[in-house]
């Protein structure tokens, strides 16, 4: 499978040698963080799983447990996240977003707006297997209103396939959105939810262009004016992902680091989940849209082993 990730299969790969190197790095007094971060950021997820398996076979120890006991803080979170099997990664993030008091709407928005229908189906299946619970039930139990409805639509993963675009339907959808928002006193959110949640990507890109022609506004401007709160954020995320998933993640990373304080949870989640998918494209969009490279921003915004590991995942500078 062709990807645009920064992390690819490492060669020549020797799971046993890596397991031994990691054990040596964590055994006894003090930890050799450099070895840990170098091994884990330069192997892909499938290889990390093999290393964990060798680690258990050779030493009768759980690699993730050892990482948790030897490392601390954000660096620990990043290394443990890298060890999570790729297919479990999103399900785990969603579980934590809806667990306990208060829901992390940001995580629900980011994952469900950006994943393909096939990925969403996979997440639901894995969630059921891993946690013996229905993801949709869990999410509807923790959310409400139009925000909840759009999440449920996205969870159905029934977006139209990208087969040819019907000009008449493009025109019709653009008119419906115009009438549901700008031309109406109040907003018919349902129309936005149905069209943005179910139409194909290539169809919607044309709808956004047509909408601009009809109304004189970008669809984002209308959503900004006509909706608010979590629904607004989710609708905007869906629109941005329809336009370009890498651009959406470039913006997500930029705002995770911009200004005072860093949203490390978001930084880690995006860097890990996109490292084998499209991080090269995200880097390109970042450079284009924010006049600096992702590498430079991580360098300026983080420190220590955590920074070293993130920079390795980033895979290079774009200046």
Query: Residues 179, 200: one domain?
Result: yes
DSSP category for residue 144: -
pLDDT at 2 over 70: no
**185-233 pLDDT per residue, tens:** 878 999 999 999 999 999 999 999 999 999 999 999 999 999 999 999 9
In angstroms, the CA 199 to CA 274 distance is 25
The reply to whether 2 falls in a domain is no
Compute the distance between CA of residue 210 and CA of residue 214 in angstroms, rounded to an integer: 6
**Tally of domains in the chain:** 3
Are residues 151 and 172 both part of a single domain? no
Q: Is residue 185 part of a domain?
A: yes
Contact indicator for 90, 273 with CB cutoff of 8 Å? yes
Q: Could you tell me if 151 and 193 lie in one domain? A: no
Identify the band that residue 106 occupies on the pLDDT scale cut at 50, 70 and 90: very high
Question: In terms of domains, do 100 and 125 share one?
Answer: yes
298 located within any domain: no
pLDDT digits (tens, 9 = 90+) for 37-67: 999 999 999 999 999 999 999 999 999 999 9
Place of tokens 């349902």: 190
Q: Could you tell me if 193 and 229 lie in one domain? A: yes
Query: Is residue 91 located within the same domain as residue 103?
Result: yes
What's the pLDDT at 319?
77
253 to 104, 131, 163, 165, 256: CA distances (angstroms): 17, 29, 32, 32, 5
Of the residues 30, 62, 83, which one is the last residue of a structural domain?
Answer: 83
Q: Identify whether the C-beta of residue 299 lies closer than 8 Å to the C-beta of residue 287.
A: no
Point out the domain boundary residue: 205, 223, 243. Answer: 243
Query: Is there a contact between 282 and 293 (Cβ–Cβ < 8 Å)?
Result: no
pLDDT in tens, 111-165: 999 999 999 999 999 999 999 999 999 999 999 999 999 999 999 999 999 988 9
User: Which residue from 240, 209, 206 is spatially nearest to 224, judged by alpha carbons?
Assistant: 240
Closest CA to 40 of 87, 77, 91, 4: 77
Residue 259 lies in a domain: no
H runs (alpha helix) in 83-180: 86-97, 105-114, 117-131, 135-142, 145-155, 167-180
Per-residue pLDDT for 175 more than 80? yes
First to last CA, the chain: 28
Using the structure block, give the residue that is written with the tokens 């258990």. Answer: 56
Give the residue, 282 or 29, on which the prediction is more confident: 282
Residues 176 and 220 in one domain: yes
Residue 281 counted as domain residue: no
Q: Of 48, 83, 118, which marks where a domain is finished?
A: 83
DSSP 156-199: TT-PPP-----HHHHHHHHHHHHHHTTTSSS--HHHHHHHHHHS
In a domain, 232, yes or no: yes
- Euclidean distance between CA atoms 208 and 60, whole angstroms: 56
Structural domain range at position 190: 167-243
Which CATH number is 198's domain given? Answer: 1.10.220.10
């Amino acid at each position: 499978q062709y990807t645009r990730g920064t992390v690819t299969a490492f060669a020549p790969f020797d799971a046993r040698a890596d397991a031994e190197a990691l054990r040596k790095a964590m055994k006894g007094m003090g930890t050799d963080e450099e070895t840990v971060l170098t091994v884990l950021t330069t192997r892909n997820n499938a290889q990390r799983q093999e290393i964990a398996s060798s680690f258990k076979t050779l030493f009768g120890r759980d690699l993730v447990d050892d990482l948790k006991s030897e490392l601390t803080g954000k660096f620990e979170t990043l290394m443990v996240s890298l060890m999570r099997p790729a297919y479990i990664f999103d399900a785990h993030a969603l579980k934590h977003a809806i667990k306990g008091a208060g829901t992390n709407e940001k995580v629900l928005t980011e994952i469900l707006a950006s994943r393909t229908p096939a990925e969403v189906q996979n997440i639901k299946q894995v969630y059921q297997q891993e946690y013996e619970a229905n993801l949709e039930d869990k999410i509807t139990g923790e959310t409400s209103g139009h925000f909840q409805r759009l999440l449920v639509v996205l969870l159905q993963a029934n977006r139209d396939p990208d087969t040819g675009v019907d000009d008449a339907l493009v025109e019709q959808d653009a008119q419906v959105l115009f009438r549901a928002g700008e031309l109406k006193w109040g907003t018919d959110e349902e129309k936005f939810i149905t069209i943005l949640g179910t139409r194909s990507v290539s169809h919607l890109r044309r709808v956004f262009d047509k909408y601009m022609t009809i109304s004189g506004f970008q669809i984002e401007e209308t959503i900004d004016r006509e909706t608010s709160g979590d629904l607004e954020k989710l609708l905007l995320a869906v629109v941005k992902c329809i336009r370009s998933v890498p651009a959406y993640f470039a913006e997500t990373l930029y705002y995770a680091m911009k200004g005072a304080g860093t949203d490390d949870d978001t930084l880690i989640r995006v860097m890990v989940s996109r490292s084998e998918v499209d991080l090269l494209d995200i880097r390109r969009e970042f450079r284009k849209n924010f006049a600096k490279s992702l590498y430079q921003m991580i360098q300026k915004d983080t420190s220590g082993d955590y920074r070293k590991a993130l920079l390795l995942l980033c895979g290079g500078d774009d200046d």
